[in-house]
Structure 1
Amino acid sequence: MYRIISILAVIISKISCLYCYKNDLYKTYRLEKLCRGDGGKVGIVINDVVSAFFLNSSLVPGETFNCHVEMVVRSANTGFFVYFEEMNLSESTLSGCNEDFVQFGRDILFVTSHLSKKYCGRMEKVSLSHCDKNRTEPTPTLKLGERIYSEERDREMDIWIRLSVPAVTVTSKTVTLVVTPFKKACSANDLQYRKCGNSPRCIRKELFCDGQINCAVTDNSPEDERNCSWMGRGIEEPKTWKSQVPFLEGFLFLLVILLIVLIYIGVRVFRRRKLNKGEYPAVREQRDLIQFNSDQYRECDTVVPVSAPSCPPLPLPPPYSQIDSSTVIQYSYANR
């Protein structure tokens, strides 16, 4: 029984880790809730956890949405990889991205020292589930150079997002960004980090072949999702900022708990029946007889004799009317 419980415990841990282990590597943010909306700066301190940012215009109040996020790492040996998972904004015009845009940079105190180009337009989400060990390029073809940005000169990286929200729209404007912290250098014997191809930059080993692009170091195929014999499902967008826990994982967990309870009850019933069948007939009959007698003849904790008396009952004495007065012996003090 204990072996069965231990095996089921291992199964539960594996199932729960499908979600818990993912949470240890990734943290998701809804920009509609994180940002103030008026362009005020919001700071986030990260270590080695990947940050995924989601934005949808249908959840944004007002006509204009301005967001400023400053990301900070504690180590000077750490930088930022940025990958555009998906983007559906207004297209660029001759003057550039003016209506909607995403921009990166860094600052010194309150002075912006560097600004990247503005990103806008459409970038469809590329599914990596079709990749296998014999295919090194996802389908459709991924133009990685148009989707990546990196920052390693500073321990801080700023992200500016501007979004115009029309009153009536057919499709929502969306942005999905994945920011992965990387080490600027690591050795081949590092137990936690692995190099992104031929680049000296390294990300956590668990991020390789997880279905999500994290290495933003080349214009070719992503180095962390190549030659994968098995690939994860990547990051899933939370439906709302109030509901972050997937329903399926919770349902599977409750199902496994119910299965454990049913198996435990079944094992107890099986052992009891097996014990009853394994007793000797004489012992079982004697036990049943004792139980029967105790139930039938025990009254008020006093055992009533069951067997009949061995001698017949004595006759009753004659009545006083049949006794002759002459036979009665008279006693007096004189006869003494």
Structure 2
Amino acid sequence: MEAMEDESLDVKDDHNHNYYGSANSKVRTVLSSQLSDVTTVPQSVCPAVPGGEPGPRPGRLRSSSTGAPKFLDSDTGSESSEVSETDCTAVPANVEGKFTLDSSSKFLLNAMAVEDYRKNHWPNLEKAIDRLLIQNSTDHISVSYAQIYGYIYKCVCQQHSELLYSDLTAKITNHLWQVSSQLLASPPENLIENFNTVLTQYTAALQCIVPVFIYLNKFYIESKLNRDLKEDLMRLFADHVAEKHLETLMPLLIKAHSMPFQVQPSTMASVVKGLYSLRPEWAQLAPALFSAFIPQINPPAVESQLPDYAAHDQKLQMELSMNGFPRGDQSRKRASEDS
């Protein structure tokens, strides 16, 4: 410490070789008393980040030979010569004002952090989300999930969870608006197939998007909003796509169900089950349709209605027979019953 004082407080003489001894001694006395206050900095443990979001690893501050505080990592024991605002906010009272940032400095750091998010983190995430949303089941798009997860991890640790969630939902909402516009231009006879395509594509994209955003989901959406990311994103599809086309789609589904094999059974099942998963109350719009693909839609059977059930089955068998599906020769025995 004495060596540092001699080097930093040495006053050079002017061109006439005049020394200012009295002023030099006063400056040396004042600065020596200030430096003695920060020679030893008590240990300080970094507090947890509010809201359950991950914070930096705990460590301690200690004074170096030059008087500058160093951050000693508790895990590795390595030193870092910089102490940022997010590293440790608990500062002893006797050094308050020396190492803490004023309100204008904190505002500047926050603005710089948001600018870094806008320039570096979000553009890379946006590109990856675009590629995942437009891919087909047969496409093999190369996406670095580890890199995406790394960006999301940094955003959450830097307290950008709310901003990231807002950008993610806005991005997907804009995509769903475009999907809905494409369905509006679809011919009615192709609406069922096209709706099934966009629903299948969207759910497949969520199977990739939700896992890489698991850090955001755990430390912000679940802990602060008490919701789930996948449920929120499926709700967006219901609001911006399914609900807008439900009035046109439902009569087409009922008509297709009354004419067997007009639409492929797998497509019918996918659309009906998809609508039910989005909004279970939609099953009440066409109970007969939804009950054909989803169990327990209709109320339990009662004995007094058995004749009605038998008549319904006979009607269905008649329709199948009229559409080229004969019942076959009922007189033949099954192979297992031959003696």
TM-score, structure 1 normalization? 0.22
**Greater RCO, 1 or 2 (C-alpha within 8 Å, sep 6+):** 1
Structure 1 or 2: larger helix share? 2
